[in-house]
Amino acid sequence: MDTMEVEQLIGWDSLLHEEEKMVRKSVRGFVKDRCMPRIVADYEAGRFATELIPELARLGLLGANLEGYGCAGMGSTAYGLACHELEACDSGLRSFVSVQTSLAMFAIRTFGSEAQKQKWLPEMAAGKAIGCFGLTEPEHGSDPGGMETRAVRTGAGWSVSGRKLWITNAQIAHVAIVWAKGPDGVIGFIVERDRSGFASGDIPHKLSMRASVTGALYLDEVKLGEDSRLPGAAGLKAPLSCLDNARFGVAFGVLGAARACLEQAIA
């Protein structure tokens, strides 16, 4: 039973539009030709294939379902099908696209100023700037309500200190979306890698997601201007809305992994 026969078993082809089928076909071809031949070696080496990023950009997968600013503007189902095909190869491949698109770029697109959108989104859509999403912390895991990272006022700007952990793309990101507790609740910042006091680190001895870049972020009194704050983000609902936005792509991806497991089991 091959992929097409498994999809007949799933029975969703009749629900898809032609554009969605085209996206699925193009991403499936990319995965078959460029990703599958190397994934075992990348996984065993604990390496993410950064050289594939420009190809992911050319397929329109970075910022895929966002409008304007160089983004493809494809429908949510088409984007979900792309995630489905990527994770049929490896979760790390889909995770990279999800974090770039559904977390980092979505946060800027939804909560950023026009200047921030113009500066970052075209570069991120082209794969020339990589983003990460700094929410999870070492002492609180997936409970962002316990956030310890703090942002304090310093005249016209901010000073941000704290730690983030399990951050996909941390070590390769040019820019981090960092969430911190401010005087009036949770606020978000765009933090560029070259800021003094900002650093990233590895997580050694991972047993899973080995072909994915996963690391830590360290912020030691990082000085940021008001132009680095996401002006539309107020309260914990802002980062949580980003996570909500990412979930359907994750769900499509998990089903891609399940499909691949079924195909391999039958073979």
Q: For 182-201, write each residue's pLDDT tens digit.
A: 999 999 999 999 999 999 99
What is the reported pTM? 0.95
Q: Which two tokens stand for residue 125?
A: 């859509």
Closest CA to 189 of 258, 120, 243, 138: 120
The vertex-251 CA angle with 245 and 256, nearest 5°, equals 135
Exposure b/e, 32-63, CB count within 10 A at least 16 = b: eeebeebbeebbeebebbeebbeebbebbbbb
Residue 60: is its pLDDT beyond 70? yes
Residue 1: is its pLDDT beyond 70? no
Mean of per-residue pLDDT scores for the chain: 95
Q: What is the mean pLDDT of residues 150-169?
A: 96
pLDDT band at 169 (very low <50, low <70, confident <90, very high): very high
Q: Where are the domains of the chain?
A: 3-127+243-266, 131-233
The CATH number given to 131-233 is 2.40.110.10
Return d(Cα 263, Cα 267) in angstroms, integer.
Answer: 6
pLDDT digits (tens, 9 = 90+) for 84-119: 999 999 999 999 999 999 999 999 999 999 999 999
Range from 35-39, 62-66, 139-143 carrying the lowest mean pLDDT: 139-143
Return d(Cα 70, Cα 114) in angstroms, integer.
Answer: 14
Question: Which are the contacts of 98, defined by CB distance < 8 A and separation ≥ 6?
Answer: 83, 246, 249, 250, 253
User: In CATH, which superfamily holds the domain spanning 3-127+243-266?
Assistant: Acyl-CoA dehydrogenase/oxidase, N-terminal domain (1.10.540.10)
pLDDT band at 204 (very low <50, low <70, confident <90, very high): confident
Phi, psi of 245 (to 5 degrees): -65, -30
Q: What is the mean pLDDT of residues 231-259?
A: 95
Q: What is the mean pLDDT of residues 27-36?
A: 97
